[in-house]
Structure 1
Amino acid sequence: MQMATTAFLKEVLQALDKCEAVTVYLLMVWKHTIGQEKTKNHLSYLLESNQVPHAQLFNSICGRGGLVLAIEFALKLLKVSEDLKEIKTLGEICQNPNLHFIYPVVKRGNEKLVYSSDYISEWYEFLNGMPYGDYTDWFDHIAVGNKQGIIGVSEIEKLHQSLYLKAFGGGNKVCVLWGLEKMNAAAANAFLKLLEEPPDNTYFILLCESDENVLPTVLSRCQEITLGPIEESALARMIPENQDNNLQLLKQSGGNYGKLLSLISDKEEKIYEALLVQGLRAAFKAKGNKNVVVDLMSWSNELALLGREKQKAFLRFGIQFFRDAFLKNYRLNELVHHKSETGFDMDKLAPFVQSENILELISLFEKQHYYTQRNANAKMMFAEMSLQLTRLINIPKPK
């Protein structure tokens, strides 16, 4: 097998050197996935040895490339061919009648039912422009406002009907389901039945950011693959040559290409940092000054007006922000990822994030993240958080 693979690659490279148009099955070529070499090798082995399980779960933070990898793997299972000399976007190559996509969506207008297929044009646009985007990016793209997309039971019922039809042209059918944790309970139970009795020649590639919110019985039917951070060497090749602070960007990205793009554009980090600094300033002023509570409530209302995905992104930013402040306080600067985009001086905050409050601060933001996932009342939740933040940030430093 190794000799055959080597010979295959030599033929491809020789043909490319001669500028010949070469069309090959994408068995060993991963054109769109950045890094993740270990996982690519594992998936290639499964393909070569004909040991692909009918259900796989890619446990991956969105920016690490799980969705792109899943799509490329699906195309290999479908034996889709691609001209190696032709450049196509991800959205273009995945338009295949045997490739089914499921992703979280919201109802538009007075619709009683909504399906992923209702958003298929937007989905292809998303894959073309933001294949390493997260749920926030997707919901922004389809302009859902403050709504939170889900995968409902009607979606799974429709999928069931589609997958039991004969594959177009024969061969395999593949379902790529992005956002498994967005599936409601009724949908999860219906989907479980589909996993237990899958149609012939059908493969499921599921993706989630965390398996904690996935039905355990669904997990038990899948072979799980966890994607780690993208290798720095692979990410480094994606940074524009004229970009300054390359090493700092790589460090801050944490192996997340979506975050790297965000850092280069500076947009989201600036917004979240400005919001958090606004809340911290109000929290410091509120000590012994009841009038400032109005500022805290104004801040919490501002957070409540964000869409849920942006609320969760803000809370994740806050967790990393306080960790970095704590590390700065104990002079572990080499471990600090934060680089202010608003001119905020973290050195001034660092002394207030110490051993007496760091665990509670992290826990506070983690709990709010959990409550947001559970659709808690945003106004009440952030109002309570602002008061708790005031108490914690004003805890006296240990003597």
Structure 2
Amino acid sequence: MKFADVIGNDSVADALVSMADSGRVAHAMLLYENEGSGALALALAYVQYLNCSNPHDGDSCGECPSCRQMSKLIHPDVHFVFPVNKGPKSSDDKPTSESYLKYWRELAIADPYFTEADLQKAIGIESKNGLIAVAEAKSIISKLSLSSVSDGYKAVIFYLPEKMNQETANRLLKMVEEPPQKTLFLFITHAPEKVLQTIFSRCQSIRVLPLTKEEARRVAELKPEADTEELTTFMDLFSDLLYAVTSRDLTGALECGEMMAALESREKQKAFCNFAAVCIRKIFMIQQKLPQISGVSEDENLFYEEMAAKCPKGFCMRSVANIEKVVAMIDRNVNSKILFCDLVNRMFMNI
């Protein structure tokens, strides 16, 4: 991927190009974003630029052997790590990212703005929590101990390092602290506060900004039709919940809670929670008289203006905090019916 193909975050792209051109390449970098803002696209463009044989005008050429390999995500010196688990698409007893690499490539090439739920679906583990286990660290250490195939950088792109356990981090620590020459670690996180401190503290952190309305529209055009249908389903459920809560319809609100709990997988439940949190933040921005950065489109404006008027002060921040707690509890396999019933009750009491 070229920087020219990345949607949004031009300032981040410019900073990455400046680092590469000046030779001040951080050996460990953490890109943190709201899900779907383009951190992976930026990471791919950065690695492609670093290894390009003929970069010009602040971008890779897209035509040299290295660029062609990167366009297919088959560069021999670029490795990918992401949360996995046992599933029908791999027969490995202890699967690693390598076990699902085919599906990762297909997903990332088609849509580098994919969500965690998209990844879980692509590799066939929708009903399980993905993990970055110690076997992953052993695999990466082994790969990086080999000589570089090209004269460029060896790179490891970690997607969601917050899914890494302590044992994995301990195995990787020395390699991250003292990597082989011209070796780069890129960590992409949606929750920097959950990244283990042993890893976080050794990285240069870069904030990837949320997309503007127009940028989000362009990204949405990349999404398969099924994703668009899912967003419509989520919006219908969220609006039903808010209308029930703000009209003091407890029965209707609890019915919405049951529908949330009935979503087909834990990842789908988390995806809805993340969607709802984004929507509530939009309401908060309108309440703060900041519609220009709310991300609300014209066809959504009536709903969000109405909710901003109906929701009392403090409701939005408390609701987002409660939703984030639900996401954490889903990861711990707490009963979803209990979680969503409690969430709805808390939202109802805060109105």
| TM-score range normalised by the length of the shorter chain | 0.7 to 0.9
1:203 Cα offset (Å)? 1.6
Paired position in structure 2 for 1:354: 312
Pair member with larger Rg: 1
Give unmatched runs, 5+ long, in structure 1.
1-25, 233-248, 394-399
Q: Does the alignment pair 1:250 with 2:250?
A: no
- Alignment TM-score, normalising by the size of structure 1: 0.72
Q: Does the alignment pair 1:105 with 2:84?
A: yes
Q: For the Cα contact (< 8 Å) 2:7–2:219, is it kept in 1?
A: no
Q: Does the alignment pair 1:71 with 2:59?
A: no
Q: Does the alignment pair 1:151 with 2:132?
A: yes
Q: For the Cα contact (< 8 Å) 1:263–1:269, is it kept in 2?
A: no
Structure 1 pair 191–349 and aligned structure 2 pair: CA distance change class (3 A): same
SS in 2 for 1:63: coil
1:30 Cα offset (Å)? 2.9
- Alignment TM-score, normalising by the size of structure 2: 0.80
Q: Does the alignment pair 1:95 with 2:52?
A: no
The one of 362, 384, 395 aligned to 2:342:
384
The one of 30, 40, 45 aligned to 1:57:
30
Paired position in structure 2 for 1:242: none
SS in 2 for 1:315: helix
Structure 1 pair 359–197 and aligned structure 2 pair: CA distance change class (3 A): closer
Q: Distance in 2 between matches of 1:333 and 1:30?
A: 29
Paired position in structure 2 for 1:192: 173
RMSD across aligned positions (CA)? 3.6
The one of 261, 265, 269 aligned to 1:304:
261
Q: Distance in 1 between matches of 2:289 and 2:181?
A: 59
Paired position in structure 1 for 2:97: 116
Q: For the Cα contact (< 8 Å) 2:169–2:198, is it kept in 1?
A: no
1:89 Cα offset (Å)? 8.2
Matching residue's letter, 1:364: N
1:57 Cα offset (Å)? 1.4
> What do residues 149-192 of structure 1 show as CA deviations (whole Å, max 9, x unaligned)?
12111111111111111122455321111111121222122222
1:328 Cα offset (Å)? 6.1
The one of 334, 352, 365 aligned to 2:323:
365
Matching residue's letter, 1:269: L
Give unmatched runs, 5+ long, in structure 2.
55-59
Aligned residues: 340
Q: For the Cα contact (< 8 Å) 1:322–1:353, is it kept in 2?
A: no
Q: Percent identity?
A: 26
The answer to which of 306-315 and 215-224 deviates more is: 306-315
Q: Does the alignment pair 1:272 with 2:237?
A: no
1:327 Cα offset (Å)? 6.3
Q: Distance in 2 between matches of 1:170 and 1:208?
A: 29
Task: Give the 5 Å matches for 1:228-239.
Answer: 228-230=209-211
1:267 Cα offset (Å)? 2.6
Q: Distance in 2 between matches of 1:386 and 1:78?
A: 50
Q: Distance in 2 between matches of 1:226 and 1:379?
A: 35
Matching residue's letter, 1:193: K
